[in-house]
Amino acid sequence: MTRKYLVGGNWKCNGSLASVKQLCSALNAGDKLDDAKVEVVCAPPAPYVLYARNLLRPDFMLALQNCWVGGCGAYTGEVAADMVADCLAPTPWVILGHSERRHLPELRESDETVAKKTKYAVEKGLQVILCIGELLEEREANRTQEVNERQLEAVRAVLSPDAWDRIVIAYEPVWAIGTGKVATPEQAQETHAAVRQWLIAKVGRQTADNMRILYGGSVKGSNAAELACKPDVDGFLVGGASLKGDEFLQIIAACQNAAS
């Protein structure tokens, strides 16, 4: 099964007009993407997304980092998937269920909220990077698979089987995010393979074979190649290193090389 690599750049709550301009210039200076091998989607903070859309080469797609559970209306401060579809057509993406949104005490998104957002976003034509992953204490208690399955099961409960083709899963162990402690290629492979087995059992073989499962957590130019060559690692969701143009381009190149 050949799955095209996907590299996501999650800029999180970072940036300014000046830094976004600089980062877009650095990315534009890279080689043209080999679109048979890799896709790239950048997720700036919401206020900068259309600015980035105007600056970035068209082979870089754009995403929002979150959206609301439903449509437009009296939901102060929220962004509806309808708006993402409108602004980022023809390739609107959104990141949902990021661990920072699941675990920060000010946000505390439940599995059910993430599932509701995912269902609505997919219905509006968005492609969703659905983040899952365990806390350090959950990994130490050998509960990684249980946690991933619980988070996925909440989505399966509301999503029709054919809608899964609009989903990319990002496995991001929380202990590896922004800590410099990257999962080993073996740890990533083992977990991704287990997620794919769950998909085979619960959603279907074809969906599972086609599903891209990204790894996220302290990915850098220097460690991307050894992770990308694992059979069930289909790309990355990159945080800190996506804010540095040359580093992000190295990660993209690692995926293109792994696809060769």
Does position 178 interact with ligand G3H (CB under 6 A)? The reply is yes
Question: Across the chain, where does the E strand assignment appear?
Answer: 5-10, 38-43, 60-64, 93-96, 127-132, 167-171, 213-215, 235-238
**Which of 46, 206, 240, 257 forms a contact with ligand G3H (CB under 6 A)?**
240
**Which of 151, 218, 223, 256 forms a contact with ligand G3H (CB under 6 A)?**
218
**Which of 216, 221, 235, 245 forms a contact with ligand G3H (CB under 6 A)?**
216
Residue 208 in 3-state DSSP? Answer: helix
223: left (phi over 0), alpha (psi -120 to 50) or beta: alpha
**Nearest residue (beta carbon) to ligand G3H:** 239
Per the DSSP assignment, residues forming a β-bridge with 6 are 39, 235
Residue number with CB closer to ligand G3H (203 or 239): 239
Does position 247 interact with ligand G3H (CB under 6 A)? The reply is no
Residue 75 vs residues 24, 78, 79, 150: alpha-carbon distances, Å? 31, 6, 8, 28
| Nearest-approach distance from CB 239 to ligand G3H, in angstroms | 2
Instruction: Please state the separation of Cα 72 from the chain's center in Å.
Output: 24
| Nearest-approach distance from CB 132 to ligand G3H, in angstroms | 12
Backbone angles phi, psi at 38, to 5 degrees: -150, 145
Whose tokens are 């969703």? That residue is: 128
| Nearest-approach distance from CB 111 to ligand G3H, in angstroms | 18
Does position 45 interact with ligand G3H (CB under 6 A)? The reply is no
| 172 given a catalytic annotation | yes
Residue number with CB closer to ligand G3H (1 or 13): 13
Task: Note the residues at the interface with ligand G3H (CB under 6 A).
Answer: 10, 98, 172, 177-178, 216-219, 237-241
Could you give the residue numbers annotated as active site?
A: 98, 172
